[in-house]
Amino acid sequence: MTEPRPNDAAELAAGHAGEGDAANGDASVSDAARTPVVLERSRPPEHMAADKIECNACPVLCQISAGRSGACDRYANVEGVLTRVDPVLVMRRALEAPGGEAALVDFANRADAWDGEIVAREVFVTGVGAGTTYPDYKPAPFIVSSEVAGVDTVTVVTEGIFSYCSFRVKIDTDRWLGPERALVRHRGEAVGHVTTQEYGSQFLSLGGVHHLTGGSKREGRITCDLMMALGNKQAVELEIEGGSQLRVQAGQAPWVNGAPERRMRVGCGSATIGIFAQQWFGQVDEVVVVDDHITGVLTEHQAGKCLDMPASGIRMRGRKSTPGRYFQVANPGVGWGGTDVTDPLSIIEGWDAKVARPGLRLLMVSTTGDDAEYFVLDDALVPVKAPMPATVRTVVDRIGENCEPSLSTILFVAGAGGSLRAGVTENPVRLTRSIKDLLVHVSCGGAPAYVWPGGGITVMVDVERMPDASFGWVPTPAIVAPIEFTMRSADYAALGGHLDRVVPVAKALAGAQHRAAPWNPLNPWPASTLR
């Protein structure tokens, strides 16, 4: 439960007195007296109703009536006390328990039963539900100490309010989703754009400060809604201008134009030729692997040359890159291999009559093996569809077997290099430097965050490794996300940390309502990563 902060009127009066003395230039006033009193809650507005309280956890400063919650539903007025609605989430790892995973202890209301040492070794306080601090000169809501493997550590825990944040979405598909740089819309509003196509995947950039703050109020709100849903692993519907309709959800198969995507391609057309050339040798005389980027032709490809396969006389459409590798054999689309091809023979221009021969066996296949047809050249050198021999079918099936399941992957990207740092240290640049020097492990809800090189603290984290419902919002609009900084106690002191706010984990949890969840074993234990 959020503790009522020491108030208000008395501290405010003291602060004014201090300022007055300093302004009078009284040389006898000590430096300590000149230091302004740091208020953790501002003075309530004069005209606010007596039964309301002001939430100061974000710049919106909601005035909340008794029994009601603020605009973001994260804070409520509970009997006159500003209360974080969802208690802070702590995660417990299972230590080497004989006979399998250790049972999760229900920590709630069990303060009297805790063994502080065990709690310190096994429990990590996440930023989920930790609460935000505004303005950020106030220390973070939780600054907890623990000893892990003989090392004294400190973890600074908060919920950051991020205006500068976005999501990178990786969609495993060959299908053409839309032109690069096309707008992506959600509920009619522009929320991002199509970026590059990578190996077997299409990337989108969604959210970001431009859409949150640079457009209409509705665009900002819809963008915020979308971002929160993406981060919280919910399914979202997207529409790409001039392209496809999508449904994406972290860790789930993407849907393209109403159909689920099953397979991520085994490789480009050229790679597929390289992988399976030897298995086709002797079974067919020519193989064309249809791919929007690089269509492969076995007998011309270096793989076919190494196998000493004779030329087939095939003439392909498109632009020849290098032997056996063709670009632009068709338009992009949702047909074979990410092209708009539904009739594979449409990408064959013809056959060299001096080289091709009746009876030549031709396999045409897509990069996932989803589409495949077998042909035999007749006396007029026209490919005639024929039943696929079992041995050829086996290799086609193996293409499918080698495809990984198509997934949507959602990465949260956020800038933590702003005022949030003041909740960690009085000298923020030292936090930035300590992170760059790898002295600080940065996590989001316990999930390890990659910190981009260069200036600032730009973090990137896979939302699937974060606890469910990690993300919130405030109507500024901005996204609320958990972030934790774990380091050695000595390093925390060296960077000018708020040492007077450091509390042992067990003590911190004894004084706060919280909920417990098991540690995600895919994530490294933060303190164990320290150098």
Instruction: Give the interface with ligand SF4 as residue ranges (CB under 6 A).
Output: 55, 57-58, 60-62, 70-72, 74-75, 474-475
Q: Which of 512, 507, 514 is nearest to 116 (CA)?
A: 507
> What single-letter DSSP state applies at residue 367?
T
Nearer to ligand SF4, 70 or 383 (CB): 70
The neighbouring-strand residues paired with 314 are 351
Largest CA-CA distance found in the chain, in angstroms, rounded: 111
Nearer to ligand SF4, 56 or 202 (CB): 56
Nearer to ligand SF4, 22 or 71 (CB): 71
Nearer to ligand SF4, 76 or 495 (CB): 76
Give the separation between CA 339 and CA 176, rounded to whole angstroms.
Answer: 7
Q: Which of 84, 62, 162 is nearest to 479 (CA)?
A: 162
Nearer to ligand SF4, 44 or 518 (CB): 44
What is the amino acid identity at position 504? P
Q: How many helices (H) and strands (E) does the chain have?
A: 11, 34
CB of 76 to ligand SF4, least distance (A): 8
CB of 112 to ligand SF4, least distance (A): 32
CB of 86 to ligand SF4, least distance (A): 12
Say which residues have a Cβ less than 8 Å from residue 436's Cβ, sequence separation at least 6: 451
Nearer to ligand SF4, 139 or 324 (CB): 139
Nearer to ligand SF4, 43 or 320 (CB): 43
- Measured from each CB, the residue nearest to ligand SF4 is 70
> What single-letter DSSP state applies at residue 363?
E
CB of 156 to ligand SF4, least distance (A): 20
Give the separation between CA 415 and CA 417, rounded to whole angstroms.
Answer: 6
Helix (H) / strand (E) containing 304: helix 302-306
Strand bridging mode 361-366 / 286-290: parallel
Say which residues have a Cβ less than 8 Å from residue 224's Cβ, sequence separation at least 6: 212, 473, 477, 478, 479
CB of 64 to ligand SF4, least distance (A): 6
CB of 135 to ligand SF4, least distance (A): 12
CB of 425 to ligand SF4, least distance (A): 23
CB of 69 to ligand SF4, least distance (A): 7
In the block, residue with structure tokens 């003041």: 422
Which phi and psi (to 5°) does residue 397 adopt? -60, -35
Nearer to ligand SF4, 58 or 303 (CB): 58
